[in-house]
Structure 1
Amino acid sequence: MNLSTLWEMYEQDKTLEAYSKQTLKAYKLQYKMLVEHLEDMDADEVTVFHLKGYLSEQQKRLKTSSFQHRCKFIRGFFRWAHEYGLIETNPAFKIKMPKDQKRIPKFLKEETLELLRINCRTALEGALIEFMYSAGVRIGEIYNLNRKDFNFTDRSVIVNGKGDKEREVYFSKRAEIWIQRYFDERLDDEECFICTQRKPHNRMSIAQIRWIIKKLAKRADVDENVYPHKLRHTYATHLVNRGAPLDMVQDMLGHKKIDTTRIYTHLRGDRRREEYRKYF
């Protein structure tokens, strides 16, 4: 059985297990790169040295996090094939995950956030900035939202996060004002939260949403890299720095493990100095 046939079976199985479209899309990309390197060889002929050769080549040009994704997919893919009896031995059995390099998440300075706010020219820009910052949502979660999902009575919305898990998030009064204004200004009948501005109106893609944030940051003359996930980092960092319990932040972010949330406990600036002087 060649690798492409194995992938078709794997994709079908993971679809039945309700893996998200985004996860399967990412896995498919990983598979394509592996097959391009191994030339769709027979799965039973793949050895640990084939895989290490491929990973060695990848490691030279990837960040640690991206390289970890490569390793994770390969380990999971071949483990699955072996457990289902589709290959005699698991060639990825001795592939080890690279050590995780703990990095402090990058977040926006208060001045940068204000610059973005005052340079919003449309209700769409305002809605995106305020909702991303005050709800701490992932861009994929925004993409899947519909207008009817918003509860303006208690300023909440149910998002579909990683692993197809739902969670309730909340947004600020400022975000509510911008979102209501954005909905009132729209002339289309599309159900989606963020819609393309030109006809034919469709759900705006993730790439287009990123472009809007980039365009806003450029107009605001911001001298740092601004992207949707940095607004999520900013949300989490501000919650922690303002004294929110870590388990509450974990729940708000939809993290499976508390260790993932713990990276936001690195205090900076004035708050860090305050904490130092309190105890020393």
Structure 2
Amino acid sequence: MQPLLNSHQLKQLTISLQAAFSNAKHPSREDPADLLSLFIAAKQVEGCSPKTLAYYRTTLERMSAAIAKPYAQVTSDDLRSYLNDYGAKNGAGNVTIDNIRRIMSSFFSWLENEDYVIKSPVRRIHRVKCAQVTKEVLTDEQLESLRDGCTCVRDLAMVEMLASTGMRVGELVGLDLADVNLQERECIVTGKGNKQRPVYFDARTKLRLTEYLALRQDDSPALFVSLKGKPKRMTVGNVETRIRELGRVTNAGHVHPHKFRRTLATRAIDKGMPIEQVQKLLGHAKIDTTMRYAMVDQNNVKTSHRKYLE
């Protein structure tokens, strides 16, 4: 039939024949909830975190309920109207709307690849333009204030580790004692998608970790543990709360673990580290993500202009 049908018609013919000969119901008419569960399972196999999977499911369930059509009948206009209505009703900004668009794109692309729909309706919906907001990084003075504000060796070691490695807070709390090599000043973290990578820390961090570990008398495998009661592995919430409190009591402003990561990326680029190496250091899959993290120092731009263009 290839000489007579185009690619889309061939795909539809394939689906119909498979359904007819297998005595199964047509895939495009399967229960939307079943298709959504299959998609979530596929993303789980790809290594998405439980938090990401929950966000995907909630977003797509909300979309499905609002449009109330079989996925094979959903059009680009349906999705545009949904995004527009969602933004108006919830006061959502462009960043949120584009996140929803990306999730819908991933879902309908999967439906297309699995032959549940002929063509993804999201193909015609372009990326939503978002304003570039310059995000703050920690100054040298703020970092010193945070260090001075630490009332225990554990917190000081935690601040030094975040500042010198730029690791994610989830990677920090996931660290075990066995993951850390003090002699080589490096550790192995497990990032997004369960991908492992080495990160490196400086001599000051090594000293603080050594002091902290010398005080440990428990048998927990975790690197950072709670101080009250039976030692337990710290959670992301525990670290965020402690860092936020440090920022408040030291007048360092609004401080959160991710700010250390952005600060490291910015300083690395300012000091001339190749962007590809910064990307590896931070564990980014795409270099565009690294560029969004790093806020280039305007003084360096001025110096480079005088060096190269005057």
**TM > 0.5 fold call:** yes
1:132 aligns with 2:179: no
* Whole-angstrom CA distance in 1 between matches of 2:286 and 2:84: 29
Identify the match of residue 87 of structure 2 among 59, 73, 78: 59
Q: 2:17 matched to which residue of 1?
A: none
Which residue matches 1:178? 208
Q: Distance in 2 between matches of 1:31 and 1:204?
A: 32
Q: How far apart, in 2, do the equivalents of 1:178 and 1:57 lie?
A: 52
After TM superposition, the structure 1 stretch with the greater mean CA deviation from structure 2, 242-251 or 54-63, is: 54-63
Partner amino acid for 2:275? Answer: L
How far did 1:187 drift?
Answer: 4.1
Higher deviation after alignment, 113-122 or 59-68: 59-68
SS in 2 for 1:193: coil
State the distance in 2 between where 1:124 and 1:17 align: 35
Partner of 2:19: none
Q: Give the counterpart of 1:255 among 284, 288, 292.
A: 284
**2:135, 2:295 within 8 Å by CA — same for their partners in 1?**
no
CA gap of 1:260–1:15, structure 2 versus 1, over 3 A, is: closer
Which residue does 1:99 correspond to in 2? 129
> Using a 3 Å threshold, how does the CA distance of structure 1 residues 58 and 230 change in structure 2: closer, same or farther?
farther
Q: How does 1:200-239 map to 2 (within 5 A)?
A: 201-222=231-252, 224-239=253-268
Instruction: Report which structure shows greater RCO (CA 8 Å, sep ≥6).
Output: 1
5+ residue gaps, structure 2, are 1-29
CA distance in 1, matches of 2:177, 2:259: 24
Report the equivalent of 1:156. Answer: 186
Q: 2-side partners of 1:128 and 1:57: how far apart?
A: 44
1:226 CA drift (Å): 1.1
Q: State the Cα distance separating 1:198 from its structure 2 match.
A: 3.5
How much does 1:265 deviate? 6.2
Amino acid aligned to 1:50: D
After TM superposition, give the deviation of residue 213 of structure 1 in Å: 0.6
CA distance 1:127–1:34, shift in 2 (3 Å): farther
Against the structure 1 CA distance between its residues 275 and 126, is the aligned structure 2 distance closer, same or farther, given a 3 Å change threshold? Answer: same
Which of 130, 133, 150 is the matching residue for 1:120? 150
| Residue 72 in structure 1 maps to residue 102 in structure 2 | yes
> How far 1:103 moved relative to its partner?
4.0
Quick one: percent identity of the two aligned structures? 28
Contact 1:104/1:266, CA 8 A, preserved across alignment: no
Structure 2 match to 1:190: 220
Which stretch shows the higher mean deviation, 110-119 or 19-28? 19-28
Contact 1:250 1:261 in 2 (8 A): yes
In structure 2, the CA distance between the partners of 1:55 and 1:253, relative to structure 1 (3 Å rule), is: same
Q: Aligned residue for 2:3?
A: none
Taking structure 2 as the reference length, what is the TM-score of the superposition?
A: 0.78
* Paired residue type of 1:205: T
Most deviating of 26-35 and 238-247 = 26-35
1-structure distance, mates of 2:226, 2:92: 33
Question: What RMSD in Å do the two structures reach over aligned CA positions?
Answer: 2.6
The residue type equivalent to 2:240 in the other structure is: R
Native 8 Å contact 1:241 1:267 kept in 2: yes
Alignment of 1:73-92 (within 5 A): 73-92=103-122
Distance 2:93 2:238 in 1: 25
Inter-partner Cα distance in structure 2 for 1:32 and 1:209: 32
| C-alpha distance 122-10 of structure 1, shift in aligned 2 (>3 A) | same
Corresponding position of 2:42: 13
Note the C-alpha offset of 1:92: 2.6
Offset at residue 193 of structure 1 (A):
2.4
User: Number of paired residues?
Assistant: 277
Q: Which has the larger radius of gyration?
A: 2
Hey, what's the Cα distance between the residues in 1 that align with 2:114 and 2:36?
Answer: 13
Name the SS of the counterpart of 1:92 in structure 2.
helix
Question: Please, what TM-score do these two structures have when normalized by structure 1?
Answer: 0.86
CA distance in 2 between counterparts of 1:34 and 1:178 reads 49
Distance 1:32 1:114 in 2: 46
Contact kept in structure 2, 1:125 and 1:216, CA below 8 Å: no
Question: Secondary structure, in 3 states, of the residue corresponding to 1:159?
Answer: strand
Instruction: Decide whether the 8 Å contact of 1:119 with 1:216 is kept in 2.
Output: yes
Secondary structure of the structure 2 residue equivalent to 1:157: strand
Q: Distance in 2 between matches of 1:2 and 1:198?
A: 49
